[in-house]
Structure 1
Amino acid sequence: MPIPEDVGVIARPLLRENAYRSIRDAIVDGTLAPGERLNDAELAQWLGVSRTPIREALTRLEESGLVQTKPGRYTIVSPLDTRAARAAQTVTAAMHELAVREAVPHLSSAEIEAMRQANVRFAGALRADEVDAAIAADDEFHNVAVTACANPAVRTVLEQFTPVLRRLERLRFSSLIGRGSVATHDRIIALCEAGDAEGAAAAARDNWLSLSEVFDVDDSDAPRAQ
């Protein structure tokens, strides 16, 4: 498999978590493409770690649906799977709905302003066709409520299922479909500011469910392992 040119980019502390996040992010951003075979030794060389944290990371990624393994034969990046994405979408939408509902009574003016500024960056990134920046700003926007709700179970579930959706969202944010999220974010902010927890929670749920518009992308030609 081709690997990024930067070698040994991972710090020694927290090797397992860093290895997991580095490989996960490379899958989500397309550096490691759907159907691509993953080699333990090459990944270890890229990240500057032993094979043990690599294998542990790949196990976690398989549980998240980003990697497929055939013991003794191959490990590949999972092809884009509409059914898996729909399942992840349902769970993710529910978690964001819960996070916003629990967060609204506790949101400070500073946190609402942080949401507003994140949406400004999000809109600017979309206008500039900067997909990575758009996704980062979108994460910042939604993370305000996830943090404010102080529910660790919500964050744990989102950590597992959001990356599956982010692969599809890269398609969304590089198209005009993503522009609609800016207005939805503004609506969520207004409802949060008004203290309407149920209305804001419903808007947050609908925001994530709107990703269905990209689920009709044909993935029939995605490469598969032999």
Structure 2
Amino acid sequence: MQSITQAPSRAQQVYHTIRDAICDCTLEPGKHLVQEELASTLGVSRQPIQQAMLLLKNDGLVIESGGRGLFVAPLDPVEIRHRYQIRKVLDELAGRLVARQAKRSSGFRDRILREGQDLLEQGEKTRKKGNALETVGVDMEFHQFIYSQSGNPLIASTTEPHWYFLRRVMVAVLLHAERGHTVWDQHCKILDALVSGDEDESARLARQHIEGAEEALIAALEKRSPPKDAAE
């Protein structure tokens, strides 16, 4: 994390910096967050740190353990399932809406095909490089592209807080899940269904993709040695 020198909203910058460090697993699950240390690292006072901690607790990324202080929240399989349940419904809806527009407009269809293929190419390149952060980043871009083309701006804003949580799960276990090729093959099939204007197939493939990712991530997570529970 870099020192913060200027900010129209110092607390917001601190929040974004710590949130990204948690999502990228620079600050790992179970990490004790000492506010004095964070303030020193970021070059700020304790006040914006305290404000950022409140926001991170609301996001579910930070937990409080009695008198022991604040910790990066553990990776909880139950919460992962809950968040994937929400994401599955929204991804199905986004798929249907994009396919519906593709069926009605050849210009829209040509554009999502072109932009979607660019993202697929980027994803394949990052997958081959084996860089988890970059691969997860492009994975997110692909899904957020679909949300943005759905015509319903509430889908993207509703999924945003869940992506913060899921991003760190994906970074933490992606390379252990061994789903890289499967993920991008499924992305390709989803794009094909969207471009063809098939609403039912787009929704079915989106649901199948999310369910597969959920099961693979939880299975990979359970194989890892669990981090020390901050609440113990």
Q: What range is the shorter-chain TM-score in?
A: 0.7 to 0.9
Deviation at 1:28, TM superposition (A): 1.6
Q: Secondary structure at the match of 1:76?
A: strand
Post-superposition offset of 1:173: 4.4
Distance 1:17 1:220, change over 3 A: same
Q: Which one-letter code corresponds to 2:58 in the other structure? A: E
Report the TM-score when normalising by structure 2.
0.84
* Contact map agreement 1:19 1:47 (CA 8 A) in 2: yes
> Are 1:7 and 2:3 matched, yes or no?
yes
For the structure 1 residues 19 and 169, does the alpha-carbon distance in structure 2 shift closer, same or farther, using more than 3 Å as the test? same
Q: What is the aligned partner in structure 2 of residue 205 from structure 1?
A: 207
Give the alignment of 1:1-226 within 5 angstroms. 4=1, 6-8=2-4, 11-70=6-65, 73-106=68-101, 108=108, 109-170=110-171, 171-173=173-175, 175-211=177-213, 212-216=215-219, 217-218=221-222, 221-225=226-230, 226=232
Tell me how far apart the structure 2 counterparts of residues 88 and 199 of structure 1 sit (CA, whole Å).
23
Q: Which has the larger radius of gyration?
A: 2
1:61–1:67 Cα contact (<8 Å) kept: yes
Q: Give the SS at the match of 2:63.
A: strand
Deviation per residue, 1:96-141 (Å, 9 max, x gap): 2222222333352223311111111111111110111111111111
In 1: Cα distance, 2:189 partner to 2:125 partner:
18
Q: State which drifts further: 77-86 or 16-25.
A: 16-25
Partners of 1:133 and 1:96 lie apart in 2 by: 22
Tell me the SS of whatever aligns to 2:32. Answer: coil
After the TM superposition, which of the residue ranges 145-154 and 190-199 deviates more from structure 2?
A: 145-154
The worse-fitting range, judged by mean Cα deviation, of 91-100 and 41-50 is 41-50
Query: Residues 82 and 220 (structure 1 numbering): CA distance in 2 closer, same or farther, change over 3 Å?
Result: farther
Distance in 2 separating the partners of 1:96 and 1:173: 23
Distance (Å, rounded) in 2 between the aligned partners of 1:159 and 1:71: 29
Alpha carbon RMSD of aligned pairs, Å?
A: 2.2
Secondary structure of 1:222 counterpart:
coil
Partners of 1:97 and 1:202 within 8 A in 2 = yes
Q: Which stretches in structure 2 are left out of the alignment for 5+ residues?
A: 103-107
Q: C-alpha separation between the residues in 2 aligned to 1:14 and 1:174?
A: 38
Q: 1:17 to 1:79 in 2, by over 3 A?
A: same
Percent identity of the aligned residues? 27
- Aligned residue-pair number: 221
Q: C-alpha displacement at 1:58, in angstroms? A: 2.0
The DSSP-based 3-state class of the residue aligned with 2:92 is helix
Label 1:184 to 1:52 Cα distance change in 2 as closer, same or farther (>3 A): same
Unmatched runs of 5 consecutive residues or more in structure 1: none
Q: Secondary structure at the match of 2:52?
A: helix
Question: Residues 45-69 of structure 1: CA distance to partner in whole angstroms, max 9, x if unpaired?
Answer: 3334443433333222222221101
User: What displacement does 1:193 show?
Assistant: 0.9
Structure 1 range deviating more: 104-113 or 91-100: 104-113
